[in-house]
Amino acid sequence: MRWRLPCGHDACRTPRPHLPRRATLAGLVVAVSLNSGCIATGPRQWIRNGFKVGPNYSRPPAPVAAEWIQAKDPRVQQAPPRDGDWWDVFQDPTLNSLIYRAYQQNPNLRSVGTLVIQSRAQQAIAVGNIFPQSQQLLGLYPYGNLARTRTHLEITAFNLSWELDFWGKYRRQVESANAQLDASVENYDAALVTLLADVATNYVQYRVAQQRIKIARDNLRTQEGLVALAERQQKVGTATSLDVEQLRTLVEQTRSTIPSLEIARGQANDSLSILLGEPPHDLEPELGPGAELGSLPMPTTPASVAAGLPADLLRRRPDVRSAERLVAGQSAQIGVAEADLYPSISIGTVLGQQDIGIGSILKTSGGLTFIVPQFSWPILNYGRIVNNVHLQDARTQGLIATYQNTVLTAAQEVQTALRGFLRSQEQADDLARSAAAAVAATKIEEKLFREVKADVNRLFTLENSKLQQQDQLAVAQGNIALNLINVYRALGGGWEFRLQGDGHCGAPITNTTTHPVPSGEPPAHGPFAVPRERPAAPVPGGLPEALPMSGPGPTVTPVSGARGAR
């Protein structure tokens, strides 16, 4: 056969060799794999991946130190941190009651819990894509009239369509949905950690404000007595009006500090009410007046804390685990995008019954069966698909950087909280000695003033100094408790509380499967549970049971590259 070139010359057209259809398809797939370079999964890796394209996920490396900076301080223990009910270290039943109430009633926690239910539904949708899809067909199709005889066709059938997951696209989607579900559970845990720490923080601030108000009022009564004594001395000529007015200045100065302290107590009161899921109301009838002056500080705090090791943060902190799960979910999206590079094969089947009628003369019926293989390959969209793979890979790289930054931030928060806990203890010890000395000096000067032997200026200074030292001591003692709360917050403590099977949390459940399809009746009450191969409890607000995590806690094993082993 000859054909004419554009230049006008004739040339022989070499006949194309006829290739079998299967060989042509296989060759095209191989050609796409070769031309795609590093973004395509080779045949061996495809088999090792479990017949799935794209990278198998490997946890990215995490930058962690070997120990805390304060590890040599005997007050910082390397034992595992206290799990679950860390607030018991304060030995305060009132605080324990507030914790339970907030856990059961906080609306923000319930809102975050509904996100877990949404993620679980999305995961179930992803699982459903793997299975055949069905559709019922019902129809009456008239053909027309022939010699005033109506002709019609009735069809009742089911249409089944099943796309073979040859490249693992839908299995990668399930992996991504599972990871997203895990991340939503970790976000719930992070919200729980924040809630419990906020309740404890506002409770301590409320108690500190109470103590400071008591200190101010106690000093105010003493100072008012000195003014009355000065007025009596003025009447007998042993004191001047200047002495009286100077002491009255001290009284009014002390009185003016009380409103600001009451504002601080009111703010803590209102914050506690909101955290409890209740309208703002006066909590003092429930919380009580607090500790009396001269008694142990309220609340009591331990002298040491178990902080574990920095590597424990990868397992304990919900926000760190959530960031890692987001990386896993996005990594699976690389395989989803890469699967579009290859052809998809579907099998369509129609099973049913057909009835053909020609008026009242002839009626016939029979089975209806079609099996139709379908083949699609968007080869003309090759550039768009390749760029989508690059896009998913870049997103994965970005989430890896976010995960590593989350680990660094978590370590920084623990270090800051530990430093504050240790230094606030030292400050409180110094202020305790200073306040004791100020009280002793003031008592001596007050005795001299009653004997008309004291200098009013020195008495004014000592009374003012005593008030300041006692007030600062109350603040410092509160800072010890607040910094200890921050330590537990930074360590990710408190989320284990929902795993406890006590009267407040509902009965525990046990589920050791990796990614089951959700099932079961929603619990009547109690916190929701996400077992990680361990018992868990139900969701607060009557939410259904959530799904377990995808595996044990993260490790610090480095991997090469964001895409994992290829």
Q: What is the CATH number of the domain that holds 367?
A: 2.20.200
**3-state SS assignment for residue 262:** helix
Provide the residue range defining the domain that includes 362: 132-164+343-376
Statement to judge: residues 307 and 368 lie in one domain? no
Tokens representing 400 are 């890896």
Closest by CA position to 284, among listed 208, 213, 206:
206
**3-state SS assignment for residue 453:** coil
- Which CA distances in Å does 450 have to 2, 67, 238, 262, 466? 131, 59, 11, 33, 18
CB-based contact 231:169 (threshold 8 Å): no
Q: Mention every residue, 6+ apart, whose C-beta is less than 8 A from residue 521.
A: 544
Statement to judge: residues 261 and 207 lie in one domain? yes
Amino acid at 3: W
pLDDT digits (tens, 9 = 90+) for 34-49: 455 556 778 888 888 8
Closest by CA position to 133, among listed 163, 99, 105, 171:
163
Alpha-carbon span 556 to 62, nearest angstrom: 6
Give residue 527's Cα distance to chain centre. Answer: 15
Statement to judge: residues 155 and 284 lie in one domain? no
Alpha-carbon span 165 to 161, nearest angstrom: 13
Residue that finishes a domain, picked among 360, 376, 392 = 376
Statement to judge: residues 72 and 113 lie in one domain? yes
Statement to judge: residues 157 and 264 lie in one domain? no
Statement to judge: residues 109 and 145 lie in one domain? no
Alpha-carbon span 115 to 118, nearest angstrom: 5
Statement to judge: residues 290 and 363 lie in one domain? no
Furthest-apart CA atoms within the chain: distance in Å: 140
What pLDDT score was predicted for residue 3? 40
Angle formed by the axes of helices 456-490 and 382-450, to 10°?
A: 150
Alpha-carbon span 58 to 556, nearest angstrom: 11
Alpha-carbon span 447 to 430, nearest angstrom: 26
Statement to judge: residues 156 and 256 lie in one domain? no
Q: Mention every residue, 6+ apart, whose C-beta is less than 8 A from residue 311.
A: 64, 556
**Helix, strand, coil shares of the chain as percentages rounded to 5?**
55, 15, 30
Q: Could you tell me the sign of the dihedral formed by the alpha carbons of 466, 471, 476, 481, in that order?
A: positive
Q: Mention every residue, 6+ apart, whose C-beta is less than 8 A from residue 377.
A: 28, 342, 343, 344
Alpha-carbon span 404 to 313, nearest angstrom: 12
Let me know if residue 13 belongs to a domain.
no
Q: Looking at the whole model, is its pTM more than 0.85?
A: no
Let me know if residue 3 belongs to a domain.
no
What pLDDT score was predicted for residue 289? 80
What pLDDT score was predicted for residue 298? 67
Statement to judge: residues 212 and 153 lie in one domain? no
CB-based contact 166:51 (threshold 8 Å): yes
Alpha-carbon span 123 to 174, nearest angstrom: 7
Q: What b/e readout covers 377-390, taking b as 16+ CB neighbours within 10 angstroms? A: beeeeeeebbebbe
**Number of domains, the chain:** 2
Alpha-carbon span 202 to 265, nearest angstrom: 9
Let me know if residue 71 belongs to a domain.
yes
Strands 76-77, 305-306: pairing is: parallel
Tokens representing 534 are 């361990």
Let me know if residue 562 belongs to a domain.
no
CB-based contact 306:77 (threshold 8 Å): yes
The CATH number covering residue 247 comes to 1.20.1600.10
Sequence-ordered strand ranges (E) for 339-380: 344-358, 362-376
Instruction: Identify the segments of the chain with pLDDT beneath 70.
Output: 1-39, 133-160, 291-298, 350-368, 370, 501-566
Let me know if residue 96 belongs to a domain.
yes
Does the N-terminal peptide bond of residue 93 adopt cis geometry, omega within 30 degrees of 0?
no
Statement to judge: residues 72 and 207 lie in one domain? yes
Q: Mention every residue, 6+ apart, whose C-beta is less than 8 A from residue 151.
A: 142, 143, 144, 145, 357, 358, 359
Alpha-carbon span 189 to 399, nearest angstrom: 20
Let me know if residue 288 belongs to a domain.
yes
Residue that finishes a domain, picked among 327, 352, 376 = 376
**3-state SS assignment for residue 366:** strand
Alpha-carbon span 47 to 37, nearest angstrom: 18
Statement to judge: residues 72 and 123 lie in one domain? yes
What pLDDT score was predicted for residue 43? 85
Statement to judge: residues 353 and 449 lie in one domain? no
DSSP string of 36-103?
TGGGSPPHHHHHHTTS--SPPP-PPP----SS-TTTTSTTEE-SPPPPS-GGGGG--HHHHHHHHHHH
